[in-house]
Chains A and B, each alone.
Chain A
Amino acid sequence: MASDIRNLADEEVMQLVQGGNPRAFELLYDRHGGAAFSLAYRMVGNRVTAEDITQEAFLSIWRSRTRYDQARGSVRTWVLGIVHNRAIDALRRGMVHDRRRETLDGVEERHEARERTDVEAARREEARGVRDALDTLPEEQRRTIELAYFGGFSHSQIAEMLEMPIGTVKGRMRLGLEKMRKQLTGVVLPGELA
C-alpha cells in the first residue's frame, strides 16, 4: 500500500491528506520538507529557528489541509508559500535577527542535501536555473528582490536601507520579476511555470 501512495502525484497525495490520512501527510513532508527547511534556513540563517518555522508551517498545513486549492497552484508552491509567510512573520517579530547576525554566512551550518533520486537531481538543476535567472538581473533589481523575499524586509525598509524612493524600490521589484519571468521559461520543472 505504501508503495502505491509513493507513486501518486502531489495533487493526489494532497487529496488523501485532505481526507485526514497521516501516511499521506508523511509522504508530503518527505517530498517537500527538505525544500521547506532549506527556504526557512536561507531566510533566518539558523538551523534551530529554521526547524521551528518548518514545524509550525507543516502543522499549519495539516490543520488547514482542506484549504488547498489545486487551481491556485502546485502543492509545492503552496507549501513553500506557507513556509515563506511563517519565516517573514518570524523575521518581522524580531525573533531571529540576532541569531541571523550570529550566523550571517551560515557556512558552518550548511550541510548539502544528498542527491538520492532523479527528482532531487532535477530540482538541483531547476535551482541552478532559477539562480542563473536571478543573476541575469541588474544588481539593483536582484538585490531588491532578495532583500524583500529572503530578507523579509518591507519596501519602505528597503528604501531606507538603500537610500532611494519607495517608488523606485517597487519599480525595481516589478521590473526584476518581469525579467525573471522571461528568463525562467523552460527552466522550472514542468507544470510549475504557468
Chain B
Amino acid sequence: MTANLQELYQEVILDHHRRPRNRGTLSEPVHRAEGSNPLCGDRLTIYVRLDGDVIAEVAFEGSGCAISTAAASLMTEAVKGKTVSEAQVLFERYHRILTEDGGEADASRALGKLAVLSGVRQYPVRVKCATLCWHALRAALEDRQEVVTTE
C-alpha cells in the first residue's frame, strides 16, 4: 500500500469499520436524525440520549463506506460523556483538520483518537464521508427533521 493510502486506511479505521462501536438504536426518549449521501450510497441514523446537557448515550446505524462507518463509530466514542457545546467544539476542530492546510498540528492534539481520520484531507472527495455523521449528530441535537447531506 502506498503511504497516503496507508494513512487513509489506518488499522484503527479498518478496525472501526469492521467492528463499529455503538452500532444500533436507542430506546426513547432520544434525539434522532438521518444523514444520507445518495451519490455514494452512504446512509446513517444517529440516536442521542441527553442527560441534562451531557450526551449520555449515542448510537448509529446504517450502511456506508469504510470512512463513513469508521468516522461514525469513532465519533460516538468521542462525544459520549461530553456536553453538547463540547461536542460542537470537537466537531469544529475535526472539520478544520480535514479541510484546512496546516490546521493539523494544533488540532490533532485536542482531537485524540479522531486524529486518525486526518488522512482524509489528502482525498478531498472523501471529506463528505467523514463528516456525514457529525452533521447528522448536530441535526439530532437540534431536533431538525430533515435528512442531512454533505454532498
Our verdict on whether A and B bind, yes or no, reads no
